[in-house]
Amino acid sequence: MEKKLPDYYVENRNIKHYPTEIGSQPFKPDEIELFKIDKTNKLKTHFSVKFNELKQQYEELMNDIKMNERIYKSKYSFTPIVDQEYYLYYDDNGGEFLSIITPMQWKNKFELIGIYKLNTDSKWVEIKI
């Protein structure tokens, strides 16, 4: 027959995280508010950084769209070849035209806007000089 323990007996009472006797230290919940504040600040920083990255990507995309629209609306009388350099100029009337002629060959007759290449998905890419 097993020995019956008294009702007030608590096994391993010295390692419990809550009071086990009347005279024990009172139970105090963890300070969760500090944890919440710390985590919300980290989340705010994370979302702020992510938002700024997306905003920058959006601005780059909009600039690419405007540049491609500008080139496609310019005057040219040839079929552009993929991966060849083309030059965008202002003409005498303030319009824009695309040419295969370099600025040196024009002898600075027209103002150069930029140098571009057509890639395989029909997107114009600016070549930085």
pLDDT in tens, 107-128: 878 999 999 999 999 999 999 8
For residue 4, give Cα distances in angstroms to 1, 14, 20, 120, 121: 9, 21, 19, 85, 83
Q: Is residue 10 part of a domain?
A: no
Number of independent structural domains in the chain? 1
Per-residue pLDDT of the chain (129 residues; tens, 9 = 90+): 677 877 677 787 777 777 777 777 777 777 788 888 888 889 999 999 999 999 999 999 999 999 999 999 999 999 999 999 999 999 888 899 999 999 889 887 899 999 999 999 999 999 987
The enclosing H or E element of 89 equals strand 85-90
Assess if residue 24 is contained within a domain. no
Position 10 scores a pLDDT of: 76
What is the reported pLDDT for 48? 96
Q: What are phi and psi of 88, to 5 degrees?
A: -100, 125
Q: Is residue 45, in this structure, part of any structural domain at all?
A: yes
Q: Specify if 1 maps to a domain.
A: no
Domain assignment present for residue 3? The answer is no
* Host domain of residue 35: 31-127
Within a domain: 42: yes
Which string of DSSP letters, residue by residue, matches 46-72? HHHHHHHHHHHHHHHHHHHHHHHHHHH
Check residue 76 and give its pLDDT. Answer: 93
Residue 102 lies in a domain: yes
Residue 17 lies in a domain: no
